[in-house]
Chain A
Amino acid sequence: MRNSRTIVLIVLVALAIVAVLVPYVSSYYYTDVITMLFINIILVSSFRLITLTGNWNLAQVPLMGAGAYSSALITGSLGWPFWLSLPLSAIAAAVIGLAMSYPLARTKGFAFFIASYAAGEAMVLCWTRFKVPFGGWTGLVNVPPPGDIGGISFADPTPYYFLTGIIMAACLWVMYRLARSRIGATFHAIHSQESLARSIGINITRYKMLVFVVSSFFAGVAGVLLVHRMWAVEPNQFGWVPTLYLLVWAVFGGTRTFVGPILGVTVLTVIGELLVPLAEWVPMIYGFILILTLLFFPEGLEGIPHRVQSWFGKTRTRTAAPGEVLSEGQLTEGQH
């Protein structure tokens, strides 16, 4: 146990060193790509929080948009500073999440997918339809970069990269602790044994609403970071295609472990960079990755260690497909 903790620590330190070096050894372009990756890591990790309770929220990308629009309005129209807008916009996204969670927490399965999709669509339609204050199809421009601190201008890619990286690390730490806490265990209990959880006095609906609010908050943070990198925002950024990407990241990486979705988005970002010349084909390629992963590799990237082990005959374990719940026996077996 102590041994594995040391390994995790070494890996984290190594990653941090690499992350610090990136802007100095590569171009602005790749610094920007990795800034985007950081934002997407926050998004996909916030998405994983919801999947803990077994529901896959299709409004996650529009909720990110809620954070983005709110920050664009707060900094652009009101002229308030970014540093105030960051928490306020995340709270705004959380409040919208709370409003949505009321009907959504009462549905599951089919109805949950469609209702969450509808709720997200309703938001995007609002941004498109109401020119004041959301700017309609063209969205909002002239979103200012974060204000300078000690002479560092966040309009430059490198300081913004570090800002995003630090906020990402903080968000991941909070989400990790939350998933590991008693509350996280309750989310898992709701997913795997809903009636049992209810019978021991857990208020299922309230916990489902809670996870929705927390996950919307972090999606909102991702949205704020996105809008202050682009300096503009438009409804198309939060449509159906980005939601597909989010689903692919989660399915490809796997959602059972904390690192699964992060691994998924990282690997697919690398693949995406390789596929830049084939941009028009990318949605189709992602579609195929999605289907093939589900058919032949349902546990995603995070299942690879188990697969390798079982090839060498060490253990015979099985990991879960998306939305599938393993029984207690299988779970403990899978954790070796």
Chain B
Amino acid sequence: MEFVAQTILNAVILSSFYALVAVGLTLVFGVMKIVNFAHGEFYMLGAYTVWVLFAVNGWPYFATVVLAIVLVGLLGVACERLVFRPLRGNLLSGFIASVGLVFVLQVAVGRIWGVGKMKPVPAPYRGDVVSVGGVSVDVQRIIAFVGAVVLVALLLLFLNRSRTGRALRASSQDVEAAELQGISVNRAAVVAMLLGSAMAGAAGALMAPIMSVYPYMGGLVVWMAFVIVIVGGQGNIKGAIYAALMFGFLNTIITTVWDSTIAALVIAVFMLVFLAVRPQGLLGHAE
């Protein structure tokens, strides 16, 4: 019983992390129609911000998290202006350019801070493990979970309630109709990229004390996020959240019973089968 409760708790925490990364990715895809492979590197840069400022220079942890969110968001905006905007409308070119960006950022980080050793980020609240009835979880995971849930909830609130958020959703559904309503596509793209990248940076910053920090840490995460975006329905935020829950549980259960490589394999095959049966995703609409 305790084992089951522990597994469920782990799965919920993992799902919240998946949701945080995937929601940003699907927002960027929905509004800009850009398949951004560099999203994983934005996540990596969020973690590096925390490592450099918190672990090395001793700044307060939460300040570095906020800074990581802001910095990575701004980097996303810079990428939008310099790389993605000129390529808008060409899915393939945008995607390939983002692959180029992946390698530029990986090598840059690797050259500046070295590739060999993992960067240890100490837990900001060391040694505090909360145990209730045999189920235990360390404080940093609770912080990451709460942070992820709050950020995703804020994003949903923004998209549903604010004028800019509704404009984003409009241009995600139909760019031309949105333009006819006077919504600037360029502005929507900047906001989407700012928020989407900031979510990736936040995920990296929140997970830095738990995950190992190294230049290639984004690869596995972005790949999982892409699977979630596809299965949830491309550009569909709610679908991404459902899919994140689904894969959080699937991954945790398989990893607990077998190992993480088997989990990755099962997830890849699952997605291929899923696409063959339902190409538009959980909540997507057929073309």
> Is A286's CB under 8 angstroms from B103's CB?
yes
Contact with B along A238-251 (1 / 0, CB 8 A): 00110010011001
Known A-B contacts A109-B91, A111-B230, A113-B95; the reply to A118 vs B273 at CB < 8 A is no
* Cβ contacts under 8 Å, A241 to chain B: 103
Picked from B90, B92, B99, B271, the residue with its CB within 8 Å of the CB of A290 is B99
| Nearest chain B CB to A327 CB, angstrom units | 15
Contact with A along B47-63 (1 / 0, CB 8 A): 00000000000000000
| Nearest chain B CB to A137 CB, angstrom units | 11
Cβ of A323 within 8 Å of any chain B Cβ, yes or no, is yes
Q: Which of B73-116 contact A (CB under 8 A)?
A: 83, 86-87, 90-93, 95-97, 99-104, 106-108, 110-111
- Chain A's closest residue to B98 (CB) is A291
Cβ of A295 within 8 Å of any chain B Cβ, yes or no, is yes
Report the bound CA distance from A291 to B105 in whole Å. 13
- Among B102, B104, B223, B229, the one with the most A-chain Cβ atoms within 10 Å of its Cβ is B104
* Cβ contacts under 8 Å, B95 to chain A: 110, 113
> Is A125's CB under 8 angstroms from B106's CB?
no
Known A-B contacts A247-B96, A298-B93; the reply to A287 vs B269 at CB < 8 A is no
> Is B90's CB under 8 angstroms from A103's CB?
no
| Nearest chain A CB to B236 CB, angstrom units | 12
Q: Which of A120-137 contact B (CB under 8 A)?
A: 121-122, 125-126, 128-129
- Among A56, A117, A122, A248, the one with the most B-chain Cβ atoms within 10 Å of its Cβ is A122
* Cβ contacts under 8 Å, B91 to chain A: 109-110, 323
| Nearest chain B CB to A60 CB, angstrom units | 14
> Is B90's CB under 8 angstroms from A324's CB?
yes
Report the bound CA distance from A284 to B109 in whole Å. 11
- Chain A's closest residue to B106 (CB) is A283
Cβ of A114 within 8 Å of any chain B Cβ, yes or no, is yes
* Cβ contacts under 8 Å, B230 to chain A: 110-111, 114-115
Cβ of B279 within 8 Å of any chain A Cβ, yes or no, is yes
Cβ of B132 within 8 Å of any chain A Cβ, yes or no, is no
> Is A102's CB under 8 angstroms from B276's CB?
yes
Q: Which of B100-154 contact A (CB under 8 A)?
A: 100-104, 106-108, 110-111
- Among B90, B219, B262, the one with the most A-chain Cβ atoms within 10 Å of its Cβ is B90
- Among A100, A102, A114, the one with the most B-chain Cβ atoms within 10 Å of its Cβ is A114
Known A-B contacts A129-B262, A288-B104; the reply to A247 vs B226 at CB < 8 A is no
Report the bound CA distance from A150 to B223 in whole Å. 50
Report the bound CA distance from A281 to B276 in whole Å. 39
Cβ of B227 within 8 Å of any chain A Cβ, yes or no, is yes
| Nearest chain B CB to A192 CB, angstrom units | 14
Contact with B along A185-217 (1 / 0, CB 8 A): 000000000000000000000000000000000
> Is A287's CB under 8 angstroms from B107's CB?
yes
Cβ of A280 within 8 Å of any chain B Cβ, yes or no, is yes
- Of the four ranges (under 10, 10 to 19, 20 to 34, 35 or more), the interface on chain B belongs to 35 or more
- Chain A's closest residue to B264 (CB) is A125
> Is A56's CB under 8 angstroms from B92's CB?
yes
Q: Is the interface of A mostly helix, strand, loop or mixed?
A: helix
| Nearest chain A CB to B287 CB, angstrom units | 9
Cβ of A119 within 8 Å of any chain B Cβ, yes or no, is yes
Cβ of A73 within 8 Å of any chain B Cβ, yes or no, is no
Picked from B35, B87, B269, the residue with its CB within 8 Å of the CB of A122 is B269
Contact with B along A291-307 (1 / 0, CB 8 A): 10011001000000000
* Cβ contacts under 8 Å, A291 to chain B: 83, 97, 100-101, 104
Known A-B contacts A114-B230, A119-B272, A129-B261; the reply to A244 vs B279 at CB < 8 A is no
Cβ of B275 within 8 Å of any chain A Cβ, yes or no, is yes
> Is A110's CB under 8 angstroms from B227's CB?
no
> Is B104's CB under 8 angstroms from A287's CB?
yes
Known A-B contacts A280-B110, A284-B104, A322-B93; the reply to A103 vs B275 at CB < 8 A is yes
Report the bound CA distance from A294 to B279 in whole Å. 29
* Cβ contacts under 8 Å, B100 to chain A: 244, 248, 286-291, 294
Known A-B contacts A107-B279, A280-B111, A298-B93; the reply to A114 vs B265 at CB < 8 A is no
Q: Which of B174-233 contact A (CB under 8 A)?
A: 219, 223, 226-227, 229-230
> Is A287's CB under 8 angstroms from B103's CB?
yes
* Cβ contacts under 8 Å, A247 to chain B: 96, 99
- Chain B's closest residue to A324 (CB) is B90
* Cβ contacts under 8 Å, A39 to chain B: none
Report the bound CA distance from A124 to B137 in whole Å. 33
| Nearest chain B CB to A117 CB, angstrom units | 7
> Is B108's CB under 8 angstroms from A295's CB?
no
- Chain B's closest residue to A109 (CB) is B91
Cβ of A233 within 8 Å of any chain B Cβ, yes or no, is no
* Cβ contacts under 8 Å, A119 to chain B: 268, 272
> Is A281's CB under 8 angstroms from B107's CB?
yes
> Is A107's CB under 8 angstroms from B275's CB?
yes
| Nearest chain A CB to B124 CB, angstrom units | 32
Report the bound CA distance from A117 to B219 in whole Å. 12
- Chain A's closest residue to B33 (CB) is A110
Cβ of A106 within 8 Å of any chain B Cβ, yes or no, is yes
Report the bound CA distance from A294 to B29 in whole Å. 19
> Is B96's CB under 8 angstroms from A290's CB?
yes
A-contacting residues of B (Cβ < 8 Å)? 29, 35, 83, 86-87, 90-93, 95-97, 99-104, 106-108, 110-111, 219, 223, 226-227, 229-230, 234, 261-262, 264-265, 268-269, 271-273, 275-276, 279
The 5 sampled A-B contact pairs (Cβ below 8 Å) are A113-B35, A118-B271, A240-B219, A294-B100, A295-B83
Q: Which 5 A-B pairs give the minimum distances between C-beta atoms?
A: A323-B92, A290-B100, A284-B107, A287-B103, A103-B276
